[in-house]
Amino acid sequence: MMSACDGLLSCPDCRADLASPERCVACGREFEQEDERPNLMPSSGGSVSFEWPVRAFNPATIPDVEILRFPPEHGQPREGIYHLDRAHEACLKELPAGSTVLEIGCGGGQMRKWMDERGIRYIGVDVAVDRVHDWLRTHGGPDILCDAHVLPFRDESFDAVYASAVWEHLAFPQLAAKEAARVLKPGGVCLGSASFLEPWHDASYYHMTPYGVFMTLSLAGFRAIQIWPETKWPGFRAMLEMGNKATRAVRGLSWLIYGWYLAPKAAQAWLRNRRKPDEQALLHPIAEMAGAIAWIARKSDSRLTEPAKTPD
């Protein structure tokens, strides 16, 4: 039977190419099915290592990085897809038909129909089938169960990797970013968002500042990074929303409190900029209180970016 994953799978234990999601011919590992989908979790954990650069990461000193004050595209996604940022939507719409997209933490697989309609070869993965609300499960759920730290896919398989509100739930987000970079084709895009000032939710480990997102992506080798605060989800709103009925009843007040916080900060930044332009200062009033941070990052394409060798 032809499946969306044909020709893309690799063994999570030995990294050999998998011809079928039932068994690895190279190491002999048999994979279980869970709720009629392959479970390609690794049988044990691995080790994590990174090359640490001598200089600390500072986005202001690195070309091709934009920390934006506002999202690059505004407004709700026209098609009202759960959790889909407008800028991510625009980026995904640029992919030609036949492109391959991996969604990590796909939940109910609610993006599948949208991708299918665009002729995108879509694969949704998650850690479990029963992690999301029943109303999301009606979308068919993940194609594959796996661990974002050990993706069961071959190198350079995807044109885009999308992970919305996922990295804060991972034990090693930097490792997951490295895996995303590994399975992306050169020039492929990594799109995602992570919690910043949201209270503890659904077992979250590492919430990220814009700089944290930048460092995570940079460590994984991504370039041409855009990072922006989610303007519709300030921390005040997130806190009231995640409380109880009583706090949710007054969530409208969060905009008032946010405005109260923002106005003097913005005035201060404006006055400072009149004397001395400072782009980073422009970022802070909104990003400081963002409930979540979003990004678009591109894997470098050495065929395009490497300077031509000059003869010695």
Residues forming contacts to Zn ion in the complex (CB under 5 A) are: 11, 13-14, 16, 24, 26-27, 29
Nearer to Zn ion, 28 or 259 (CB): 28
* Nearest Cα to Cα of residue 178 among 23, 52, 49: 49
Nearer to Zn ion, 14 or 48 (CB): 14
Q: What are phi and psi of 204, to 5 degrees?
A: -100, 145
Q: Which one, of 76, 72, 77, 92, lies nearest residue 232 by Cα?
A: 76
Minimum CB distance to Zn ion, residue 8 (Å) = 15
Contacts of 124 (CB under 8 A, 6+ apart): 102, 103, 106, 109, 111, 112, 141, 142, 143, 144
CA pair distance 124, 132, nearest whole angstrom:
14
Choose between 150 and 194: whose C-beta lies nearer to Zn ion. 150
Nearer to Zn ion, 29 or 154 (CB): 29
- Nearest distance from residue 90's CB to Zn ion, in Å? 39
Cα dist from 237 to 87, 197, 247, whole Å? 21, 10, 10
Question: Which residue is it, tokens 């968002």?
Answer: 193
Q: With respect to Zn ion, which residue has the nearer C-beta, 14 or 253?
A: 14
One-character DSSP codes across 160-219: EEEEET-GGG-S-HHHHHHHHHHHEEEEEEEEEEEESS--S-SS------HHHHHHHHHH
Rg (CA), the chain: 21
Q: Which residue's CB is nearer to Zn ion, number 16 or number 224? A: 16
**CA–CA gap between residue 9 and residue 24 (Å, rounded):** 10
**Rounded (10°) angle between helices 279-287 and 253-275:** 170
Q: Which is closer to Zn ion, CB of 9 or CB of 220? A: 9
Residue 23 Cβ vs Zn ion, minimum distance, rounded to whole Å: 9
| Min CB(193)–Zn ion separation in Å | 33
Instruction: Residue 202: count other Cβ atoms within 10 Å of its Cβ.
Output: 11
CB of 12 to Zn ion, least distance (A): 8
- Least distance to Zn ion from the beta carbon of 73, Å? 42
Minimum Å gap between C-beta 154 and Zn ion is: 13
Q: Which is nearer to Zn ion, 16 or 266 (CB)?
A: 16
Task: Look at residue 144 and give its three-state secondary structure.
Answer: strand
Check: CB of residue 147 under 8 Å from CB of residue 42.
yes
Kindly state the smallest distance separating residue 216's Cβ from Zn ion, in Å: 28
Q: What element of type H or E holds 101?
A: strand 100-104
